[in-house]
């Protein structure tokens, strides 16, 4: 009978529902093997997700301690380069476990420092256990025989410097994180002066024409800002060598009318700034704002600027402290100069 006829291969295949054969094969695999494969695949997917997720600069810049570094990176020539591209040793695609383990260790370290509030300030300050960025990191993108970047208008023999110094970061310290007070070009130039202009390297010339073409505009962009004249003192205090790259020390002294930065014991009253302040108060006012109450800001601790001028408040301090308090700085005729004149006017 037809019903007793053997089933052909084509008929058997047609009778198997879609995916049934695959499920049958999977059912034939021991459960322990299926579980092991699932775990491995799950771990691999998590590792890939972790690798991709932590590669974003947003992860590094999520902490407020990194705000300055994030801002400087955004203004650098490396804005298209992720943090881990430079700050983690390069690996091949198949070294995913090594890369993820190293990334996790870095993340754990930084999170622990953030939570404990125990970190260097600034966060990228050199530490004894910190290794410099290796040349291998830079050579992922850059040719060691490349010419100097023309955008900065410099004439540096890159190959010669690379051969002599033996390390990319011997010059390129702030390439991705220029100092906010300097700007990109001055950050690079500051590193040049660790050799140029030092007794250890007498052949490293400091003349502008050594590194810049004749038509180069030497005035940095920062100097063109209207606030530079009054605000450059903060930059000088942060790094005086930044100024001496271009200016002789006498340049500052001639402009300010006294040695800059202030000499030792400058705040020591009659032995320091008092002599200059009494002979020519305008010298102080050229940098320090505050008008007639400039001295009062430091010398009269009870002064309340929001209340009014010191001359309108000083009688209270005389009553509280006594006249002897005034005479520690002022001679008796100093008081008479105003008070006698007021009596005469009455």
pLDDT at 265: 81
pLDDT at 284: 82
How do the domains of the chain map onto residue ranges? 31-131, 133-220, 295-345
**Residue 133: which residues within 8 A CB-CB, separation 6 or more?**
86, 87, 168, 169
**Residue 155: which residues within 8 A CB-CB, separation 6 or more?**
148, 210, 211, 212, 213
Q: Provide the 10 A C-beta neighbour count for residue 316.
A: 12
Distance, CA of 58 to CA of 191 (rounded, Å): 28
Distance, CA of 63 to CA of 106 (rounded, Å): 14
Among residues 316, 311, 303, 304, which one has the least CA distance to residue 338? Answer: 311
pLDDT at 42: 92
Quote the tokens at residue 333.
């005729």
Distance, CA of 107 to CA of 130 (rounded, Å): 15
252, 243 contact by CB (below 8 A)? yes
Q: Coil, helix or strand for 325?
A: helix
Distance, CA of 241 to CA of 182 (rounded, Å): 12
Cis before 8 (ω within 30)? no
What's the number of CA atoms in the CB half-sphere (13 Å) around residue 144? 14
Distance, CA of 193 to CA of 173 (rounded, Å): 12
- Which whole-number Å values give the CA distances from 270 to 284, 330, 335, in the listed order? 15, 11, 19
Strands (DSSP E) found in the chain: none
Tokens 């983690």, located at residue = 88
For residue 187, what is the enclosing H or E element? helix 184-192
pLDDT at 15: 52
Q: In the chain, what is the greatest distance between 2 CA atoms, to the nearest angstrom?
A: 144
State the helix-helix crossing angle for 96-116 and 31-53, rounded to 10 degrees: 60
Quote the tokens at residue 316.
């209270």
From first to last of its 346 residues, the chain has per-residue pLDDT tens of: 445 555 454 554 455 555 567 677 667 778 887 788 888 899 999 989 999 989 889 988 888 888 888 888 888 888 989 998 888 888 888 899 999 998 998 888 888 888 888 777 666 666 666 677 888 899 888 887 777 655 567 888 888 888 888 888 888 887 888 776 666 677 778 888 888 888 888 888 888 888 888 888 888 877 888 788 877 888 787 777 788 888 888 888 888 888 887 878 887 766 778 888 877 877 887 777 656 677 787 778 788 877 788 888 888 888 888 888 888 777 777 787 777 765 555 5
pLDDT at 179: 73
225, 219 contact by CB (below 8 A)? no
């Amino acid at each position: 009978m037809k019903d007793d006829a053997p089933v052909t291969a084509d008929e058997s295949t047609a009778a198997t529902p879609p995916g049934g054969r695959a499920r049958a094969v999977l059912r034939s695999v021991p459960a322990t093997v299926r579980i092991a494969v699932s775990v491995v695949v799950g771990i691999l997917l998590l590792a890939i997700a972790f690798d991709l997720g932590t590669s974003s600069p947003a992860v590094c810049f999520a902490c407020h301690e990194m705000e300055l570094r994030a801002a400087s990176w955004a203004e650098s020539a490396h804005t298209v380069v992720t943090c881990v591209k430079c700050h983690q040793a390069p690996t091949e695609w198949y070294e995913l476990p090594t890369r993820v383990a190293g990334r996790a260790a870095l993340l754990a370290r930084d999170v622990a420092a953030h939570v404990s509030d125990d970190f260097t300030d600034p966060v990228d300050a050199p530490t004894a256990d910190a290794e410099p960025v290796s040349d291998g990191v830079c050579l992922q993108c850059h040719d060691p025989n490349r010419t100097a970047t023309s955008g900065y208008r410099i004439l540096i023999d890159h190959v010669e410097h690379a051969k002599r110094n033996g390390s990319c970061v011997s010059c390129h310290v702030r390439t991705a994180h220029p100092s906010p007070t300097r700007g990109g070009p001055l950050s690079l130039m500051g590193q040049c002066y660790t050799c140029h202009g030092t007794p250890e390297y007498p052949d490293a010339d400091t003349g502008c024409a050594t590194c810049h073409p004749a038509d180069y505009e030497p005035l940095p962009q920062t100097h063109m800002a209207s606030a530079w004249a009054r605000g450059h003192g903060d930059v000088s205090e942060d790094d005086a060598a930044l100024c001496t790259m271009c200016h002789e020390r006498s340049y500052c002294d001639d402009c300010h009318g006294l040695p800059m930065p202030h000499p030792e014991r400058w705040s020591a009253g009659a032995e320091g700034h008092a002599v200059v302040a009494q002979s020519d108060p305008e010298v102080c006012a050229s940098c320090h704002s505050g008008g007639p109450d400039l001295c009062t800001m430091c010398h009269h601790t009870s002064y309340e600027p929001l209340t009014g001028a010191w001359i309108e408040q000083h009688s209270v301090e005389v009553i509280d402290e006594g006249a002897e308090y005034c005479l520690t700085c002022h001679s008796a005729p100093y008081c008479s100069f105003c008070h006698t004149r007021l009596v005469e006017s009455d």
